[in-house]
Amino acid sequence: MLGVLVFIRHALCNNDFGAGVMQEWDRRLPLVAANQTTEGHPMKRYMHGIAAFAVLLGLVGLVLPEAAAQPPGGRGRMWRSFEEFDVNGDGRISRDEFEGPDAFFDRVDADGDGYITREEFEAAREAMRERRGEGRRLERPAESDRGERQERRPPAAAAGGFFQSVPQAKDASEQQILDVLAEMDQLGRRMQSVPMNDGRFLRVLAEAVNAQHVVEIGTSHGYSAIWFCLALRRTGGKLTTFEINPERAELAQGNFERAGVADIVTLVLGDAHEEVANLEGTIDILFLDADKQGYVAYLNSLLPQVRPGGLIVAHNITPGLADPRYLEAITQNPELESLLVDLGADGIGLTLKKR
């Protein structure tokens, strides 16, 4: 009897559910050992019942966490993409957007802030692949580890916590632009546009450096361009933006007109790799948000035109998306100073051309 109890005790050790039962067993096990040779002893009969009940609890404790560790749709279903979950296109997945068990959401939400970022999503997907290949469980970090990770996380990425900020219009014309941006934001990632906070960051940069000429590679439907225009209308600057897709270019032009900024935007339709050769003048900010493998070519072509003290801003600088050649180009050049800005979504490479 003692051997059976010890075996079940070890089985319970392997799952969180059995922790409470274990404490009670540690107290009662010596009593069983002292009475195991007394046939028909009441304590022994009592512990027989406890053992049977513990086996049932142990099985439940082993099965339930395993079920909770499955991705939405069950074991046999492949993971969907991050964009399919991120319905509102804000660069993170809320509990309401997540179509799966709460227990699994908590496991993927590594820093416990109530949202799943792209980095957390990809890390969990990779861990699940390893688990399927090696039989390992995806474990939720211990509370102490979660606390340390959350403290290390950049404050901007935890904006939903202690720091909350929304765009506020200074005047009627700015409100008109913000209203158009709000409508465009509904399309979100379906148009491959930047998240709202990234757009706000671009506006801050342009106004802070008093930009006179911003060049954007990758217009899409004009979302990031209009954020730049919020600054340029104050600095008296202009925007030149390049788009290869005719349908998107037409949509962007319509959005520029609705926002009342078409007069400060030059939209160039065509392959930017070829069209930038015709670009003239000094560049205050170069914004890259097109084909990631083309970032190095754009940098090499346009860096001579970026003024000393000017900025090169590259979107989607994250593991798996960023081109290692571009990372080397901006971090190994002594004429440049580069930082990674994490606003909790896609990652922004911010590079200064030194004076």
Confidence category of residue 187, pLDDT binned at 50, 70, 90: low
Which pair of structure tokens corresponds to residue 103?
Answer: 């227990």
Residues 137, 49: Cα–Cα separation, whole Å: 31
**What pLDDT shows up at residue 53?**
54
The torsion angle over the Cα atoms of residues 31, 37, 39 and 42, rounded to 10 degrees, is 0
The tens digit of pLDDT for each residue in 268-291 reads 999 999 999 999 999 999 999 999
30 pLDDT higher than 60: no
pLDDT computed for residue 188 by the predictor: 54
Q: What are phi and psi of 137, to 5 degrees?
A: -90, 145
pLDDT value of residue 105 = 73
User: Phi/psi of residue 239, each to 5°?
Assistant: -120, 135
Give percent of the chain with pLDDT exceeding 70.
63
Question: Is residue 119 very low, low, confident or very high in pLDDT (cuts 50, 70, 90)?
Answer: confident
Average pLDDT over all residues of the chain: 76
Q: What average pLDDT does range 28-41 have in this prediction? A: 46
Arithmetic mean of pLDDT, 139-148: 42
Q: Which residues pair with 341 in a beta bridge?
A: 348
Per-residue pLDDT at 165:
86
Question: What is the reported pLDDT for 127?
Answer: 67
Asked if residues 28 and 34 have their Cβ atoms less than 8 Å apart, the reply is: no
Per-residue pLDDT tens over the stretch 294-349:
999 999 999 999 999 999 999 999 988 899 999 999 999 999 999 999 887 789 99
Helices 19-35, 42-68: crossing angle, 10 deg rounding:
160
73-82, 175-184, 239-248: least confident range: 73-82
**Residue-level pLDDT at 94:** 79
Domains identified in the chain and CATH numbers: 2-68 (no CATH), 82-158 (1.10.238), 172-353 (3.40.50.150)
- Is pLDDT above 90 for 134? no
Question: 38 or 217: whose pLDDT is higher?
Answer: 217
d(C-alpha 228, C-alpha 222), whole Å: 10
